[in-house]
Amino acid sequence: MTREERLEHIWSATADAYRGYSDETTPQYLPGQRVIALYTTIGSASLKVLDDLTDSEIASKLPVQLRHLARAAVAA
């Protein structure tokens, strides 16, 4: 599973209330960029551009059964 495929899965699996498109209120404002809400361990939320997610953030958003596919693709 490529990085793009993982990002597309995260986007499609995220509820509309927790995803959207960037506007003037979004950090790193770029018109039309896809953003999702990320929550910290203390419960605060922030918006982050989907393409800017780190590998650990991607892994935390993927279902458990898909996490190993990302590692297998890198190893191959």
Q: 16 to each of 2, 34, 65, 76, how far by Cα in Å? A: 24, 12, 23, 34
19's CB contacts (< 8 A; 6+ apart) are 11, 34, 35, 36, 37, 50
Q: pLDDT of 24-56, one tens digit each?
A: 776 667 788 999 999 888 888 888 899 999 998
Query: Do residues 8 and 34 make contact, with C-beta atoms less than 8 angstroms apart?
Result: no
> Which residue range is the domain that position 17 belongs to?
3-75
35 closest CA partner among 23, 24, 19: 19
For the entire predicted model, the pTM comes to 0.76
Domains identified in the chain, total number? 1
